[in-house]
Amino acid sequence: MMKFFTRLLGNGQSTIAKRELYLFQTGNVQRAYTNGDAFIEHAGVVYEPHVIKRGSHKSGRDLEKQTMEIEFSLLSAFAQNLSRSELEEITTVQMFSYEGVEFRQFWSGRLTKVKPHDEGIKLQFETEYTKVGRNAVTRKIQATCPYRLFDQDCSLAKANYAVKTTIKSVDKLNMEIRGLEAYADNYFLIGMIEDPSGVLITIDTSTGNHLVLKRRFDSFANIALSDAEYTALMDDIALKTQALADAQVALALKQTAYEQALEALNNAAPEDPNYQDLVDALALAETEKNAAADAIPIAEAELRSAEEAVPYVTLYPGCLKTPDACKAYSNLPNYGGFPFVPGDNPLVRQVV
């Protein structure tokens, strides 16, 4: 249901105030905000009131190179995450206006820059029609691959290369991670590390369990686990896993006992002297079976809670965009560069 806001005119009469909606999308994650003072639901999306300022936009035929700046408060968690992230994934915005019963989209674009300053965080967007957003215009002949690792043209599935692990210690740009012994040195070179909130930081080098980051992100220190803390969390998960397995075994036994009691009752006649005992035994078996079944979701929830208590980070390898790097992924058919292009342009070479 759409909600509208009123404002008072000079004559004291109220009228519908014009408001704007902002729908941001990064991958499959949406954030919806309005510059109004109440929640708005439209087309199945709920827009949250937020302090937002934006720049002006032009309406015309030439849409290339148009930009839009949207400013958030320094306290906005959404803008903070974008300022910390390396913008590895494309973030887009759709902007709508409404007044009275009219609702229309007036601008859309993709995020190209984040600019924190003393009073807020500015997000700079380019219109979707800009040259930057069209691969056919920006594509050029070059030796290295122009595709971003894991994008549509690369065709590799990002989830297949994700490494879920925990942080042992952090010292500025240096980080100790668990469980990377099986990976070759610099396997994660120019790859990414993602924190639980989705912030992405580039990895400069990787050697065994040691990473060096491109830039400092102090929040990683808040989720580092000592060996004792890590062991306690893993022990709790193991305990909850065993409890779930025990509950499943108990349910199977109670199910078998119920079926046996049911079969015994079906094979008896009402005039048998122990018939009532069989009826009572079936009722008890059913009660115990239902109790065992009720214990399963409880055990599952406790295990899920124990697993969610672990502050995992996710690592992704990088790509140097060379044929050898592409070959290491067994993805050479999708290599988009031209490695044999000559380095010197014969048309500009001076003949002596």
| Cα–Cα distance, 75 to 50 (Å, whole number) | 11
Q: What is the 3-state secondary structure (H, E, C) of the chain?
A: CCCCEEEECCCCCEEEECEEEEEEEECCEEEEEECCCCCEEECCEEEEECCEEECCCCCCCCCCCCEEEEEECCCCHHHHHHHHCCCCCCEEEEEEEEECCEEEEEEEEEEEEEEECCCCEEEEEEECCCHHHCHHHHCCCCCCCCCCCCCCCCCCCHHHHCEEECEEEEECCEEEECCCCCCCCCCCCCCEEECCCCCEEEEEEEECCEEEECCCCHHHHHHCCCHHHHHHHHHHHHHHHHHHHHHHHHHHHHHHHHHHHHHHHHCCCCCCCCHHHHHHHHHHHHHHHHHHHHHHHHHHHHHHHHHHCCCCEEEECCCCCCHHHHHHCCCHHHCCCCCCCCCCCCCCCCCC
Using one digit for the tens of pLDDT, what is the confidence trace for 39-51? 888 888 899 988 8
Q: What is the pairing mode between strands 29-34 and 45-49?
A: parallel
**Taking 80 as the threshold, does the pLDDT of residue 349 lie above it?**
no
| Cα–Cα distance, 238 to 171 (Å, whole number) | 30
Residue with tokens 């069209």: 134
Using one digit for the tens of pLDDT, what is the confidence trace for 286-345? 999 999 999 999 999 999 999 999 999 999 999 999 999 999 999 999 999 888 877 666
The lowest-confidence range among 86-95, 215-224, 257-266 is 86-95
Whole-prediction pTM: 0.64
The lowest-confidence range among 66-80, 138-152, 177-191 is 138-152
Using one digit for the tens of pLDDT, what is the confidence trace for 126-162? 886 544 444 444 566 788 898 889 988 899 999 999 9
Nearest-CA neighbor of 214 among 169, 173, 266?
A: 173
Using one digit for the tens of pLDDT, what is the confidence trace for 190-248? 999 998 888 888 999 999 999 999 888 888 999 999 999 999 999 999 999 999 999 99
Give residue 2's pLDDT.
Answer: 37
Give residue 352's pLDDT.
Answer: 53
Q: Mean pLDDT across the chain, nearest whole number?
A: 85
**Taking 90 as the threshold, does the pLDDT of residue 76 lie above it?**
no
**Taking 50 as the threshold, does the pLDDT of residue 117 lie above it?**
yes
**Taking 60 as the threshold, does the pLDDT of residue 53 lie above it?**
yes
Give residue 128's pLDDT.
Answer: 64
Read off the pLDDT band of 26 (50, 70, 90): confident
